[in-house]
Amino acid sequence: MGTMGFLSRPQLVYLLFFLCFLIAQTAGQNCSKESPCATGCCSKHGYCGTGDEFCGADCVDTCDYKLGCDANNPCAQGCCNKFGFCGLGPDFGYYETWSTRRRCKQFWPEQIPLGIYTHINVAFAVIDPDTFEVRPSLTADIELFKRVARLKQEDPDLKVYIAIGGWSYNDPGPTATTFSDLAASTSYQNKFFNSLTKFMSTYDLDGVDIDWEYPAADDRSGRPADFANFPKFLKNLKAALKRTGGRDGLSITLPASFWYLQHFDIGNMKKSVDFFNIMTYDLHGTWDKGNKWTGEFLDAHTNLTEIKASLDLLWRNNIPPDQVVLGIAFYGRAYTIADPSCTKPGCLFASGAEAGDCSHEVGILMNSEIDEIIAGKRPRITYDKDAAVKMITWDDNQWVSYDDINTFKLKADFARGKCLGGLMVWAVSHDHTNGTYSLALGEAAQRKFKALPDTIKTDDTIKIKHDQCKWTNCGDLCPDGWVLLRRHDDDRHHDGEWMLDDGGCIFKNQDHRLCCPPDQDAPTCGWYTFNNGDCEGKCPDGSFEIGGTDRGCSTAFGNYQAACCTSGQKSTALYEKCEWGASFECDSWKCPAEKTDVLLKSCNGNGGSACGGDWRTHLNEERKYCCDSSDENMTFDDCEWLDDYSETGYQVIPADGGSGSGGSGYCFSSCPKDKVRVAMEHYNTCNKKTGSRAKCCSPNYTTTQKKVDPMVELWTADLKDWLENPTCSTGYGYGYDDTFGAGYDKRGFTDMLPIEYAPRYAGISGTSLEKRQDQQSFFTSNSILIVATDVIYTYRMTSRTNKAVKEIKVWNDVIAARFTYLATSTLIPFLRDVTGELFSVVAEDLAGRIICNLEYWNQMIKDCTAPSTLDEVCAISDLDGFDDEYSIDPDTYGTNGASTKRALHSLDKRDGAPRDFTVDCGTDPITGQQRIMIITSVAYPNGGNGDNLANANGLTVRFAVANQHVCTDTSIDPNAPNNLWTWVTEHIFELQLIPRSIEFMVTGTLPAVQGLPDFSTGSKRMPWDIAQLLNQDYSTWASGHTTATGTPIIRIFDSLGSKINPARLVNTETHLNSMKGRLFAGKKPIGDDTWRNLNVADERAGRAGINEIRMVIAVFEYLNEQLVNRHLVDTYGAANNELRVFQKAVNSVFGQRDFSAPNLFRTFMTNFMRRMAQWASNWLNSRIDELLVTWQAVQNAATPGSHAYQVATNYTADLRQLRESVRLSVIFDDSIFVYMHTPGS
């Protein structure tokens, strides 16, 4: 080891070679002999599938699997699909990346049930309207793309497509005509194809789904030329995909509405696409209101009656049915009923129904939300079997139609009857996290092939089967490789004489041979005891009886020679577990106490002996074969008497035919090759026939053996070494814990990984493994990162592989042995239920932070889960006594009067007044003049404790911290109780951003703030004389050059929310609103003087300090809240659009200028928000460190169990948890400003 704890190059090469060899044995496998495929064959590489690759010569298990149908094996009824099964083919499931950002019922990739879907379409990526390159909607989606693709490791049959487009992509805005532009230009297409194929390769995607809504439709930004251009584009796209070497899947979505479907030239498209995913849902919705053709009727949005009609256009265009995938919804369209007394289809609706708490969209309810309504409201369910839809009504005037397991089956039956290609779901992410509706869909679709192991072996033992020595059938040789035993008794004629027995054979010169398996030690055997014909049939001590013959014995009834073998060999262990009873007066003999189970009875025992009989009945008594059956792994099973068995199905008999004909005068002492002969009998059943019958049993003798897995040994040793010498890059430490070293190598982390694991970490974007460019991420132990990461992934999944089970055990055996609270039984619930990091954080990043801070995490979980006797209660109102700045109106930050006070607890009845803001662009570098102007905002609804705004915009949402009394709860409640808080109108897009953005557009610089240096753009800047035009009415300088009226700056302020545009505004609790204003103003969240009063060993001050930190984090929770974030994007888009209008007017009046106001505004917003999150995070971590020092000192000085000790313990636990919240929540995805694309179905 070098001074920094690294392996030398020779050591490293050897280690990597060893790792590669070992990991190749286990990485990625999902089947084996111990874990067979549910269906399909298990290949030598450990994957389930069909065809020669899986079922050929190197197949490991279930190698005789056959497909359900093919050209030579047609279906009895229904259709044989292209995948070799009768019935439906693929099942497509759309997964919404934004489902992870819902306020509740978040749905993560690992919660998609495996074995149900053949294809997952990840929605949505977008096309850059300027470069025509494929981009994620948000940078946060990149990790989700990877996580969905990773599911293929567990289900190798799964295909993952990227869906591009979506409904909102064609909404008015920069991307409204992008599809039309793309389809019309081969130049743009080439750029798109090149980008797409790289995108698919980077994120391991198998195909693309084009969701253009809708070509040639003038109400959706379409152009007439789209009808002809779209098929040409698809033809070119398919050709480009064919060149990718396997990533060539192509599907498109089709509307079920004739109004839009008529603009698709599907006859020409069918030549290029693999599947048409037809959206046979959303047949109706709130858009029907006012439509003269449909009207605002309570019609189900998905119903079989209209679906049948919508498919007719496809059939008229000769679309092959197996190319059509039927759409099914995991959500319902909901309405507010116009007349509560009229709730049936055909009645009228007034509007969309109230938004669900989690989907949060008027007129939409996810199935998981509908189930809650059914459980809580217990409404009457109407089931329309003809239309294959269900409906419920609740709260007098709320109504929704939806699908469930019953209607799934009806629609699936319809699809099968039409020989459709399969089923498609929008959206998998509307399901419960336990996959209720996906599983129901799988049952309805009857998908039969699931490329998943049937069972998961949960221990490290293997069962070894021990074949038993056996007598062959008459005349047969020993099985291949088996050993024919020699005689070792004193009566043998010569050395080397074989163990033979002609008993029961019907031909002369035929014998049974005693043979033993080749892989086990054979016993020593012989015939005992001849005694010159006075045979006794007794075995020597230390041996047991395995056969018998009366050949050569005197005529005394019952005399026989016993074939005996020495004890102690596994190849004869079952015979040793049994013994034969007396060979005369057999019925009266009792089994010994240690062998009480009578396996069988035979009047001739094992062939040579004979029991006495009754001359009147001509039946002999029967000799007992007594066994010890106490060990279920050592038994003779499935025993049966056979007198006519032949492997060929026919018997060979002497030419004279014997007594009787057709072989009925013979008994044959033969057994199947997988059984052994335990007894043989001539008397009784075969008394008047030639030959004997055989008692044939299956030998069941297995032993268990501890399987030594070299990977487990490696992991264990590596993790133990890590505990003794843990060294990470500094990026995984928390900055206050010097327990771990800070060594790091100049090489990248992926350079150190075994090749089977390196792809997992290659190209990671947006994670700690790449985003910290100033440091390398290196660990002295690769195994610990791999194991920790896999443990996290495993607990995200609904199934576990053998490898994962072993990794969990190693983690618990090694890491949890020292750090008790890091056992998976406590660690995983903490990550899932307390911090929420189990799903929300990049697994590799989370694993790195845990393993580099083991002691810290152990203590944090201990503190947070230990019962407390202290009633610790936070109250937001307590902050006012410590922090005077809460009395400052945040809308005045950046104005000419930033000290404006307001009374927090009085009801302001006035509207929000216009405010003056100073735009200060400093001194002109050429003229030396000061560049200052005053801009004025517009009035907005305010007062009435929030009621004035609610009346103006109709929004019922009100935002506050979800639980003010829990000091660590930073989450936001969008429906906070009106009577618990003081409310003010909140500009989600802060007013102060407008003057600051103008300053940036003119100077090109964001000034230094809170420890961050200034930022400068290289883009062309807006001249000061042009900037001043923002404050002048268009009529004074652009008359005849624009249709816009009024002053540009007023139009911009109006777009942020005003009396005439109240929809952009929301009600927010005053403290949250105030803290947000401080952050956007670049002010320290808590002033230094205030902080000094909080960072003292005083219980009330400590609680207030924790509470202040909580409020800063809550601002970012608020900004990332689904509705708030959508409002922010929409408001930014509206303001940016006003700058586009301004830019266009400027270019028209003064000629094309070399600056772009919209682009400068975008640059400002992305960098402003990014920097704000960065410095806020730095400030929070610094303040948390200071409080930890204060309260750890109190804890160390206090007597355990005392009040002071309990307070300090609780506070330090709170602070550690808040530190995790900083890491998780004090972030902002500034990519929302790039495309202004809000995903939607």
- The partner residues of 579 in beta bridges, in order of sequence, read 626
Could you say which DSSP state residue 362 is in?
Answer: T
Q: φ and ψ at 930, to 5 degrees?
A: -75, 135
Could you say which DSSP state residue 5 is in?
Answer: S
- For residue 570 the two structure tokens come to 């596994």
Q: Are 512 and 501 in contact (CB under 8 A)?
A: yes
Tell me, what amino acid is at 939?
Answer: A
pLDDT, position 78: 59
pLDDT, position 885: 65
Q: Are 902 and 915 in contact (CB under 8 A)?
A: no
- For residue 182 the two structure tokens come to 């793309």
- The partner residues of 122 in beta bridges, in order of sequence, read 95, 162
What are the helix (H) ranges across 418-566? 436-445
Q: Are 524 and 518 in contact (CB under 8 A)?
A: no
- DSSP string for residues in 454-492: S----SSEEEEE----EEPPTTPPPPTT-EEPBB-STT-
pLDDT, position 1235: 54
- DSSP string for residues in 768-792: HHHH-TTS----S-HHHHHHHHHHH
SS3 890: helix
Which of 815, 845, 840, 841 lies closest to 827 in space, CA to CA?
A: 815
The dihedral region occupied by 785, where left means phi > 0, alpha psi between -120 and 50, and beta the remainder, is: alpha
Query: What span, in angstroms and rounded, lies between the C-alpha atoms of 1030 and 1019?
Result: 20
Q: Are 978 and 1021 in contact (CB under 8 A)?
A: no
Query: Residue 827: how many CA atoms within 13 Å on its side-chain side?
Result: 24
Q: Measuring CA to CA, how many Å separate 868 from each of 437, 967, 1202, 1205?
A: 41, 14, 12, 11
HEC-encoded secondary structure of 736-754: CCCCCECCCCCCCHHHHCC
- The partner residues of 425 in beta bridges, in order of sequence, read 93, 328
CATH numeric code, 91-445: 3.20.20.80
Q: At what angle do helices 710-724 and 802-818 cross, to 10 degrees?
A: 30
Q: Are 307 and 364 in contact (CB under 8 A)?
A: no
Q: Are 360 and 376 in contact (CB under 8 A)?
A: no
pLDDT, position 894: 60
Query: What span, in angstroms and rounded, lies between the C-alpha atoms of 14 and 21?
Result: 11
pLDDT, position 912: 82
Q: Measuring CA to CA, how many Å separate 88 from each of 279, 436, 958, 1108?
A: 17, 20, 47, 58
Provide Rg for the chain, Cα atoms: 40
- For residue 267 the two structure tokens come to 């006859």
Q: Are 672 and 696 in contact (CB under 8 A)?
A: yes
Query: What span, in angstroms and rounded, lies between the C-alpha atoms of 548 and 559?
Result: 10
Q: State pLDDT tens for residues 119-154.
A: 999 999 999 988 999 999 888 899 999 999 999 988
pLDDT, position 1180: 96
pLDDT, position 939: 95
Q: Are 836 and 878 in contact (CB under 8 A)?
A: no
Q: Are 160 and 122 in contact (CB under 8 A)?
A: yes
Q: Are 631 and 724 in contact (CB under 8 A)?
A: no
HEC-encoded secondary structure of 943-1005: CHHHHHHHHHHCCCCEEEECCCCCCCCCCEECECCHHHCCEEEEECCCCCHHHHHHHHHHHCE
Q: State pLDDT tens for residues 146-171.
A: 999 999 988 888 999 999 999 888 88
Dihedral sign of CA atoms 806, 811, 816, 817 in order:
positive
Query: What span, in angstroms and rounded, lies between the C-alpha atoms of 913 and 939?
Result: 5
Which of 78, 114, 194, 916 lies closest to 449 in space, CA to CA?
A: 114
* CA 508 to chain CA mean position, Å: 70
Q: Could you say which residues of the chain have pLDDT below 50?
A: 1-29, 449, 451, 453-455, 659-663, 733-780, 898-909, 1236-1241
pLDDT, position 1179: 96
pLDDT, position 519: 85
Q: Are 558 and 612 in contact (CB under 8 A)?
A: yes
Q: Are 939 and 1059 in contact (CB under 8 A)?
A: yes
Please tell me the chain's helix, strand, coil percentages from 3-state DSSP, rounded to the nearest 5: 40, 20, 45
* Residue boundaries of the structural domains of the chain: 91-445, 464-652+671-703, 710-865, 876-1235
Q: φ and ψ at 482, to 5 degrees?
A: -75, 160
pLDDT, position 87: 62
In the chain the first and final C-alpha atoms are separated, in Å, by 56
Q: Are 502 and 523 in contact (CB under 8 A)?
A: no
- The partner residues of 677 in beta bridges, in order of sequence, read 696
- For residue 433 the two structure tokens come to 């996290």
Q: Are 423 and 118 in contact (CB under 8 A)?
A: no
Query: What span, in angstroms and rounded, lies between the C-alpha atoms of 997 and 1164?
Result: 6
pLDDT, position 267: 94
Q: φ and ψ at 1060, to 5 degrees?
A: -90, -5
Neighbours of 884 (CB within 10 A): 12
Query: What span, in angstroms and rounded, lies between the C-alpha atoms of 618 and 683?
Result: 9
